[in-house]
Structure 1
């Protein structure tokens, strides 16, 4: 069989037109032989995009103007121990206990109890901050900006009133805060 040139051109045009025509629509699911029903499949359920929760940040530990968490100035030994925030108080006159969250060593995290006034002081540690954000390492300039009433009583140690009943005892050295203690104005256990 001989194909003439005009017929070959028409055939090529027909093949191109068929190839470039509307796209074939695809159906989801399994294929079935012609004349047989297609198997049924469950409709795909859209899923919500997964998002990762933001990293958990530990809340700041705050030594507020009345205490540390549930531990408050003026509490009895029994009340203080019931908070679960302090260990057992010793049996001295002005009794001492340590905050369970505090790091070991020195006077960091010590709680003083007075027979006359109850809890009279809570000593802070690096990482613990006042309600206004002053902590060990804060610059003296920033501390004085936050507590303009801070008054030095001797070399590097001073007090900032925070309520009618309490004050922060803040010490500074080389231009930085080195300790922060909340204490009752009515304390008779140290200094």
Structure 2
């Protein structure tokens, strides 16, 4: 973790203290920024952080983008379920978990950060989010073992398979 030195002049004496610097945007354990897992579409939109990209239509989920992280034409930044609220939040480049894992991390780094990682025969590796048993991180890795996709997922989501 980066550390920042803060200088304070107190009664003519210079005092230096080390404090952790913000490491950048963090995904989890309950959401990203003001957007939280389980939050309704109305409440998520009210944060001003997201914009509707794809209406639910016949499906149960609508697709949204974060204003700060717009996605390409055929993708979304998060899904919001009619039943469950915010169900899946995808990490944008530069966004990391509290343990420092993000797009570009290696599977070796993921396993070290999350020793309880589960690797199913079919599907992406995942782990229950430390501090939130109602969510898990899902890691999409390349054939070379680099993380290409990272999502914070509500365990009862009904948007993606």
TM range (shorter): 0.7 to 0.9
Take 1:156 and 1:115, find their aligned partners in 2: how far apart are those partners?
Answer: 25
TM-score, length-scaled by structure 1 = 0.65
Match of 1:164 among 111, 133, 147: 133
For 1:167, what is the secondary structure of its paired residue? strand
* Shift in Å, 1:81: 0.4
Long gaps (5+) in structure 2: 1-20
* Shift in Å, 1:88: 2.3
Take 1:177 and 1:168, find their aligned partners in 2: how far apart are those partners?
Answer: 12
Give the root-mean-square deviation of aligned CA atoms.
2.1
1:69 corresponds to which residue? 33
Aligned residues: 135
Residues 42-191 of structure 1: pairs in structure 2 closer than 5 A: 60-88=24-52, 90-92=54-56, 93-105=60-72, 110-154=77-121, 157-162=124-129, 163-173=132-142, 174-191=144-161
For 1:151, what is the secondary structure of its paired residue? coil
Equivalent pair of 2:77/2:90 in contact (CA under 8 Å): yes
Take 2:46 and 2:23, find their aligned partners in 1: how far apart are those partners?
Answer: 22
Long gaps (5+) in structure 1: 1-56
Sort the Cα spacing of 1:178 and 1:154 in 2 relative to 1 into closer, same or farther, 3 A: farther
Moved over 3 A (4+): 106-109
1:52 corresponds to which residue? none
Take 1:106 and 1:58, find their aligned partners in 2: how far apart are those partners?
Answer: 31
Equivalent pair of 1:126/1:135 in contact (CA under 8 Å): yes
Sort the Cα spacing of 1:188 and 1:156 in 2 relative to 1 into closer, same or farther, 3 A: closer
2:8 corresponds to which residue? none
For 1:78, what is the secondary structure of its paired residue? helix
TM-score, length-scaled by structure 2 = 0.76
* Shift in Å, 1:133: 0.6
Q: Determine which structure has greater relative contact order: mean sequence separation of CA pairs < 8 Å that are 6+ residues apart, divided by chain length.
A: 2
* Shift in Å, 1:147: 0.8
* Shift in Å, 1:152: 1.6
**Looking at CA atoms only, which structure, 1 or 2, has the larger radius of gyration?**
1
Whichever structure has more strand as a proportion of its residues is 2
